[in-house]
A and B are shown apart, each in its own frame.
Chain A
Amino acid sequence: IDYTGTEPSSPCNKCLNVSWDGTPPCTCTINFTLEHSFESNVFMYYGLSNFYQNHRRYVKSRDDSQLNGDNSSLLNPSKECEPYRTNEDKPIAPCGAIANSMFNDTLKLYRIDNDTRIPITLIKKGIAWWTDKNVKFRNPTGDGNNLTALFQGTTKPVNWPKPVYMLDLEPDNNGFINEDFIVWMRTAALPTFRKLYRLIERKNNLQPTLQAGKYSLDIAYNYPVHSFDGRKRMILSTISWMGGKNPFLGIAYITVGSICFFLGVVLLIIHHKYGNRNTSADIPN
């Protein structure tokens, strides 16, 4: 579902020219209908297009040691982070353009059942790789668990409304190990990409996770994409053993397979026709 709001008719059109520190956040609501019910766990993605997360300048603008919880890097981030290295003489944590441009729309999903909006529980943990969460990203170490103290002496990225230690209330999902943050930091390969946002778990075996019907999506629209012709989308998807739905591989396999079969037949015929002729051929000495 595209909620960028480029068309004037879109409810989100008013938010199009939102800026980073828009307070209060511009909110809009989009209603949509699911034709089929989703039986198993549903994954909720946000998708951006025309967003070059793979640009070289962008990709390298991060400091992995800082993200790994190295205290010296925390206060003295790598030069790669420029110009998002320091702000007002204070080191930025997390530094760099990637962190600075973190996706910060908030999406909420409601099922509309007889005009009442029933909120759907969105799980925000378990969306990042284990290695990322436990190995690559670590909060700085120090006395106590008070992240505010640990991040003492740093400042928030320019575009962020809140500092990194206030991303979440739960301590195991806060600071550098906030999973939304981790997912964002895993840069995409292509300019059109999607990233996992939330999980919707199946509650019991009787009911589908998401029934067919009307839903509404509440968006706290913070992330400006209009300036570079970007698009924002929300995608709901289920997953099979080989991942999400994508016709490309299927089509490709069928095509290649049939070409192979055809070629095989042709070659077989050719082999029968020509093969015998050559085995007996004499070679001039």
Chain B
Amino acid sequence: MALEVTHRYLQEESAMADFNGLIECEEPNNRLDKFAGTLFWRNMSYSLDADKILLRGCKIRNTDFCHGVVIFAGADTKIMKNSGKTRFKRTKIDSLMNYMVYTIFVVLILLSAGLAIGHTYWEQQIGNSSWYLYDAQDFSPPYRGFLNFWGYIIVLNTMVPISLYVSVEVIRLGQSYFINWDLQMYYPEKDTAAKARTTTLNEQLGQIHYIFSDKTGTLTQNIMTFKKCCINGQRYGDCRDGAGQLQSHPEQQVDFSWNMYADGKFSFYDHYLIEQIKSGKDPEIQKFFFLLAVCHTVMVDTSDGQLNYQAASPDEGALVMAARNFGYVFLSRTQNTITISEMGIERTYDVLAILDFNSDRKRMSVIVRESGGNIRLYCKGADTVIYERLHPRNLKREATEEALDVFASETLRTLCLCYRDISRDEFEVWNKKCVEASVATTNRDEALDRVYEEIEKNLILLGATAIEDKLQDGVPETISRLSKADIKIWVLTGDKKETAENIGFSCELLTDETTICYGEDISALLQTRLENQRNKAGSSTHSSLRMNEPFFQGSRDRALIITGSWLNEILLEKKKKKKKLKLKFPRTAEEKKKQTEKRRRAEAYKEQQQQNFVDLACECRAVICCRVTPKQKAMVVELVKKYKKAITLAIGDGANDVNMIKTAHIGVGISGQEGMQAVMSSDYSFGQFRYLQRLLLVHGRWSYIRMCKFLRYFFYKNFAFTLVHIWYSFFNGFSAQTAYEDWFITLYNVLYSSLPVLLVGLLDQDVSDKLSLRFPGLYVLGQKDLLFNYKKFFLSLLHGAITSLIIFFIPYGAYLKTMGQDGEAPSDYQSFAVTAASSLIFVVNFQIGLDTSYWTFINAFSVFGSIALYFGITFDFHSAGIHVLFPSGFQFTGTAPNALRQPYLWLTMILSIAVCLLPVVAQRFLSMTIWPSEIDRIQKNRKKYMAEEQQWRRRQSAFRRGVSGRRSAYAFSHQRGYADLIASGRSIRKKRAPLDAVLGNSVTEVRDAPETR
């Protein structure tokens, strides 16, 4: 919104033309939420912050026009500064594939070179003396060999699978669509389907080792409900009747119908509290709910006579909503007033100041002038912060603390409420300081915090609230299933240690058997390890010795809980020292050297430390990092990526997870409560955490298996096809003569062999989705790269080479000394080419048939269709008609009908096919009977499992919720509230729907100008 001054004085266009202010501001950067600048105009300076500018890309709502000054344009705009950071993600298989293609390329060059040498030799021995080859160009044999090198590069180019890349992309696209179409990953309540936002990472989903998960909104629903409270030391919220007696049957909800503003969705079981409120006897209770109704930054919006609250954080929304249901209804606000209906009586209060929330302060306050004229500060915040600032003589301190403990043990999020009366003089003094601080150009936030600190003291405790942050459906099941699949789950959260630990227990990430190690314990372990290493490095010449013995003895479950500050200490300790070093100016070259040496040593030390930390953390079954900043989240992911070389997946829903999502190999966004930033930067998105198991265990696994099968087969197919030329070259003087018809070479990859393998890449599944969810152990396959690695690659190349050998030498043996049925010798080149090509088509298509483990009609159709297509096209191209039309284009006229008429040729083909495929069949059979893999066994027992499943479903018992006795505490959301907006009041001046304009500001942005209207 505009500055007060510019708003006031620049109403006319002529005035705007005369505007001659000077804006001093920060350099272009990528932080969307921060801006610092100052406008100098008419000898006055005005501060400009993030609220005073419009960012490029934002949309203005409820505002017809605005005038502004452009500060940054083009690449300097914040959105452009941000966009550069997105990295192109590629899968492990992708890079592996690239190397394999390089390998093939090298093989191609080597083979061509070998054949060229062969040709040189041949020319010398035979070619030169063969008068019939005379071509009137007397090149020397080496030169001919050189020419033939290029000839062979062209002939053998089909070895390098160029169409591979296109096919891979097609398959991935198809798989992404399968993910998008999966109804079991559709979240009906929010109408969000799973969405693969990138189509290039699917098979990576089958290889995940580590999952980094956010907590709020990801594991939990991030829907807060007001459950309990403690007022003046008295706890409310259990099931009680109006007289305060505990009730045994919890069904009876409190009836809120007496309150016209109640939203009807709220459920509360303590009738006693209601009675207390209605009676209005207890001033503390009144103050309590009054505070809830006043102290917040919620925006209100009336539509169809209904009040709609828009809160910066769901906690706050829940509290205001609760107050509303209890009869203290927040109705509307202006820049400096707030209107509340207190038990049906509307009152308006002057809001003198809003001391907004931020993550350091962990509290917020409002200063209100009450109807009597006395000024009062209402404050709510995390218990630790509040308790530090309480008035020493607080009677209910212990009772409330006890209540807090009780609430926390029920995994409720708690918040303390308190107030303080302020005298008018004190307020005046403070207000002056506050205004001063708010125009400071540097460190404005810190200055404000300091000023706020001054007034938030000697508070009087009112009570505490308890909010429930529900776990999402199916989270414990998902987590336990994923950990059975050998996926390690790290929870990275901004919450407090206790909260995080509690959530860890409630989602079964931690169990009672788990030994929990805290950062402090580990520091010692790391230290000893480091010293050991140093000693070793001293004794042995090489310092890169890595010790592999585990940190812990025994095989008990271990979990690690560390905090962000500890992380900093461990991982970045050295950085600070480095900075200090830099301050010293190196005088001599020697000193410089020493410094670099030192720095390098520090670097090495840091790396060692990080390495050790990652090793240690990976030994634990679960790791919970609490109190971490978004940047640290990304850093942790980076560390694991760097030292473990494992595939990582990050899942989160909020803007604070964006870094992590971008850093991890795969980012998953949950389209939840906290906006779309996470989804926008993610690779996959869906509505609920529990869909992750389906995404990984079903789609990821399938994608991986399909892709591996596809790649293996593709390399095999191309080698079987191309190497025949090489065997043939031994019999044609290495002259780069092709073994097949040109048209066959052209169409082989496109028509004759592409469709079945594409379908396998798209549709194949070894076990059904239910079974792969039931046996998470099957997932290990992908983590260990078992299905596609260099070994498999060379095996398929070898397989292809053997197939090509058979395809060439069986016709060779058969044709060497024979004649056809009608006396003509079938050993002519064209018949030979047709025989080899036909057997190749049969072998290759039957081979994919053997590889297919999930047969559908389409698969069968494509396999037999390809063969039929081959014969159809071949007969067409070899027909008399086409030769009449293009006499020189189709030289194989009559070959197919003449050659394929002969039973001898068919016998040859059948022999080649049998010799190619029988060993494969035998090998498959052997491995299935003697060394059956888990997949084979599951496939065999498919029916049994199906029956079991049905039985099991019938018996399925209700889900039992674990009760744990651990303490949790309140955590605010990371976003700032709307206090500044409210305070300046510009947006509220317009009567209708001020909120949208505000929202538009923060969500989407168009222009890059400060609003100086």
A associates with B: yes
Closest residue to B903 on the A side, CB-wise?
Answer: A242
A132→B136 CA distance, assembly (Å): 30
Task: Decide: A270 and B816 in contact? CB cutoff 8 A.
Answer: no
Q: Is B133 a contact of A97 with CB atoms below 8 Å?
A: yes
Shortest distance in angstroms between A237's beta carbon and chain B's nearest beta carbon? 6
- Mask of B124-166 contacts with A, CB within 8 angstroms, 1/0: 0011011111111100000000000001000000000000000
Which residues from chain B contact A243 at a C-beta distance below 8 Å? Answer: 818-821, 826, 902-904
Any chain A CB within 8 A of the CB of B82?
A: no
Say which residue of B733, B816, B823, B831 sits within 8 Å of A248 (CB atoms): B816
Interface residues of B in 826-871 (CB under 8 A from A): 826-833
B242 interface residue, CB < 8 Å from A? no
Q: Does B112 contact A (CB under 8 A)?
A: no
Q: Which of A54-62, A148-156, A214-222 contacts B (4 or more CB under 8 A)?
A: A54-62
- For A246, the closest partner residue in chain B by CB is B818
- What is the bound-complex CA distance between A285 and B771, given in angstroms? 11
User: In whole angstroms, how far apart are the Cα atoms of A125 and B428 in the complex?
Assistant: 124
Residues of A within 8 A of B829 (CB): 53-54, 59, 186-189
Q: Tell me whether B883 is interfacial, beta carbon within 8 Å.
A: yes
Instruction: Assess A190 versus B929: contact at CB under 8 Å? Given A58-B132, A78-B888, A242-B821.
Output: no
Q: How long is the Cα–Cα vector from A108 to B656 in the complex, in angstroms?
A: 97
Closest to A102 in B: B132
The verdict on A45 contacting chain B, using a C-beta distance below 8 Å, is yes
Listed stretches A2-10, A21-29, A64-72, A114-122; interface member: A64-72
Interface residue count on the B side (C-beta < 8 Å): 74
Supposing A52-B735, A127-B824, A278-B937 touch, asked if A252 and B819 sit within 8 A by C-beta, the answer is: no
Q: Known interface pairs A131-B893, A188-B827, A256-B915. Does A249 touch B907 (Cβ–Cβ under 8 Å)?
A: yes
The answer on a CB contact under 8 Å between B911 and A249 is yes
Query: Which one of A54, A279, A284 contacts B737 once the chains associate, using CB atoms below 8 Å?
Result: A54
The 8 A CB mask of A196-235 against B (1 = contact, 0 = none) is 1001000000000000000000000000100111000000
> Of the candidates A57, A70, A188, A191, which one forms a contact with B135 in the assembled complex, judged by CB atoms under 8 Å apart?
A57
CB neighbours (8 Å) of B135 from chain A are: 57, 61, 82-83, 97
Name the B residues within 8 Å of A54 (CB-CB): 731-733, 735, 737, 829
Cβ of A127: which chain B residues have Cβ within 8 Å of it?
823-824
- B907 contacts A242, CB within 8 Å? yes
B344 at the interface (CB under 8 A from A): no
Instruction: Decide: A195 near B132, CB < 8 A? Known: A56-B735, A189-B815.
Output: no
A68 vs B816: C-alpha distance when bound (angstroms):
30
Report A263 CB to chain B, min CB distance, Å.
6
Task: Point out the residues of chain B lying under 8 angstroms from A278, CB to CB.
Answer: 929, 932, 937, 940
A128 to B894 Cα, complex, angstroms: 11
Chain B 893-919 interface mask (CB, 8 Å, partner A; 1/0): 110011000111001100100110010
When the two chains form their complex, are residues B833 and A52 in contact, meaning their CB atoms are under 8 A apart? no
* Complex Cα–Cα for A199 and B814 (A): 23
> B519: shortest Cβ distance to chain A, in Å?
34
Neighbouring B residues of A188 by C-beta, 8 Å: 825, 827-829
Q: Which residues of B contact A55 (CB under 8 A)?
A: 127, 133, 732-733, 735, 737
Interfacial residues of chain B within 785-843, with CB under 8 A of chain A in the complex: 810, 812-833
Tell me the smallest distance from the CB of B633 to a CB of chain A, in Å: 33
B contact residues around A283 at 8 Å (CB):
775, 777, 934, 937-938, 941
| Cβ–Cβ contact B736 & A187, under 8 A | no
B17 within 8 A of A: no
Residues in A with CB closer than 8 Å to B127 are: 52, 55
A270's partner among B820, B883, B894, B930 (CB-CB below 8 A) is B930
Complex Cα–Cα for A134 and B151 (A): 34
Contact A191 B731 (CB under 8 A): yes
Encoded as 1 (CB less than 8 Å from any A CB) or 0, chain B from 877 to 896 comes to: 00010011001100101100
Is the pair A50, B907 in contact by a Cβ cutoff of 8 Å?
A: no
- With A58-B132, A243-B819 as given contacts, are A52 and B733 in contact (CB-CB < 8 Å)? yes
A70 touches B126 (CB 8 A): no
Contact (Cβ within 8 A) B815 A252: no
B925 within 8 A of A: yes
B774 interface residue (CB < 8 Å to A)? yes
Say if the beta carbon of B926 comes within 8 Å of chain A.
Answer: yes
Complex: how many Å from CA A260 to CA B826? 29
B897/A131 in contact, CB under 8 A: yes
Q: Which residues of A contact B831 (CB under 8 A)?
A: 189
Q: Is the CB of A83 within 8 A of B134?
A: yes
- How far does the alpha carbon of A82 sit from the alpha carbon of B137 in the complex, in Å? 10
A52 touching B133 in the complex, CB below 8 Å, given contacts A65-B888, A135-B884, A275-B929 = yes
Cβ contact within 8 Å between B930 and A281: no
Q: How far is the CA of A193 from the CA of B816 in the complex (A)?
A: 7
Q: Taking the complex as formed, is A194 at the interface, i.e. its CB lies under 8 A from any CB of chain B?
A: yes
A43–B824 Cα distance when bound, in Å, is: 9
Is the beta-carbon distance between A135 and B894 smaller than 8 angstroms? yes
Count of residues in A whose CB is under 8 Å from the partner chain = 78
Chain A residue with the shortest CB-CB distance to B812: A190
Q: Which of B151, B736, B813, B823 contacts A252 (CB 8 A)?
A: B813
Q: Are A56 and B151 in contact (CB under 8 A)?
A: yes
Shortest beta-carbon distance from A100 to chain B in Å: 7
Q: Shortest Cβ distance from A128 into chain B, in angstroms?
A: 8
Give Cα A187–Cα B737 distance, bound, in whole angstroms.
Answer: 12
Q: Which residues of A lie under 8 Å from residue B733 when comparing CB positions? A: 52, 54-55, 191
Contact partner of A65 (CB less than 8 A), chosen from B131, B133, B887, B903, is B887
**In whole angstroms, what is the CA distance A186 to B892 when docked?**
10
Write the nearest CB–CB distance from A131 to chain B, whole angstroms: 3
Q: How far is the CB of A40 from chain B (nearest CB, A)?
A: 11
A190-B827 CB under 8 A given contacts A267-B925, A283-B934:
yes
Known A-B contacts A68-B887, A131-B894, A278-B929; A239 and B822 likewise in contact (beta carbons under 8 Å): yes
| Min CB gap B907→A, angstroms | 6
CA distance A279 to B151 in the complex (A): 55
| Closest B residue to A194 using CB positions | B825
* B922 within 8 Å of A (CB atoms): yes
Q: Which of A56, A246, A256 contacts B817 (CB 8 A)?
A: A246
Q: Are A129 and B894 in contact (CB under 8 A)?
A: yes
A244 within 8 A of B: yes
Is A237 within 8 A of B777, CB to CB?
A: no
Whether A256 and B911, one on each chain, are in contact in the complex, defined by CB atoms closer than 8 angstroms, is yes
Cα(A279)–Cα(B937), bound, Å: 7
Q: How far is the CA of A242 from the CA of B818 in the complex (A)?
A: 10
- Contact residues in A for B903 (Cβ distance below 8 Å): 241-243
Q: Which of A50-106 contact B (CB under 8 A)?
A: 50-59, 61, 63-65, 68, 70, 78, 82-83, 97, 100-101
How many Å from the CB of A98 to the closest CB on chain B? 8
Chain A 172-197 interface 0/1 with B at a Cβ cutoff of 8 Å (1 = within): 00000000000100111111111110
Complex: A193 Cα to B934 Cα, angstroms? 54
B821 touches A241 (CB 8 A): yes
Which B residue sits closest to A239, measured CB to CB? Answer: B823
The answer for the CA separation of A156 and B333 in the assembled complex, in Å, is 108
User: Shortest CB–CB separation between residue B594 and chain A, in angstroms?
Assistant: 58
A65 → chain B closest CB, angstroms: 5
- Which of B127, B817, B826, B932 has the most A CB atoms < 10 Å from its CB? B817
Sample of 20 A–B contacts (CB below 8 Å): A55-B737, A61-B135, A83-B135, A127-B823, A127-B824, A135-B884, A136-B893, A188-B825, A189-B832, A189-B833, A192-B816, A196-B825, A243-B819, A243-B821, A249-B813, A252-B814, A256-B918, A259-B918, A271-B929, A285-B775
Known: A188-B828, A190-B832, A193-B825; 19 extra A-B contacts, CB below 8 A, are: A51-B132, A55-B735, A55-B737, A56-B736, A65-B888, A130-B894, A186-B829, A187-B829, A188-B827, A188-B829, A189-B833, A190-B815, A193-B828, A199-B823, A242-B903, A243-B820, A267-B922, A270-B929, A275-B929
Closest 5 A/B residue pairs (Cβ)? A131-B894, A83-B136, A244-B819, A189-B832, A101-B132
Chain B interface (Cβ < 8 Å from any Cβ of A)? 126-127, 129-137, 151, 731-733, 735-737, 774-775, 777, 810, 812-833, 880, 883-884, 887-888, 891, 893-894, 897-898, 902-904, 907-908, 911, 914-915, 918, 922, 925-926, 929-930, 932, 934, 937-938, 940-941
